Amino acid sequence: MIIIVGLGNEGSLYQNTYHNLGFMTVDRLAKRLGIEFTKKKYKSTIALGKVKGQSVMLAKPSTFMNNSGQAVVMMKEKYKDARIIVVVDDIDLEKGKIRYRQHGHSGTHNGLRSITSFIGSEFERVRIGIGRDESKDLADFVLSKIDKNDLPLFDKAIDEACDLIMEKIS
């Protein structure tokens, strides 16, 4: 089983925010794979499918970003040997840049910190850079709507993140 977890926050208030790039990426990945988010399980909304004969679960935790580990640990307990890939926004990367790491630290991201506190650091990460807006408080910035001028950049970044994930799981 390969579990791909997009981090974000549920609800219309958070749609199209920088902090929801993980959700947006797994949504796009589901479209590419021809699967739908139809089940509620593991404190998440999930989509199940196959890639080259391998079972794949896409997940969007419903725990809110800072408690994402509560959902991921439930998946890990069920699928002990699963490969876990987490997709997340990153203020420490330039806007639109993608970074992949096989494992590592959580940095400044509370969602990754939550996951690490539950399952350790042995999971893969796909980070999508959002840069920093020094004129705003950090929480206000990450929870703000993506600037309309940046929409094409992030649309491309989501596609690149999907391409990277498909390459890694194929």
* Residues taking part in catalysis: 19
Cβ-Cβ contacts under 8 Å for 5 (sequence gap 6 or more): 22, 26, 44, 58, 59, 60, 61, 68, 71, 72, 75, 84, 85, 86, 87, 115
In the block, residue with structure tokens 């593991």: 42
Gap between the Cα atoms of 29 and 12, Å rounded: 20
Distance between CA atoms of 126 and 139, rounded to whole angstroms? Answer: 21
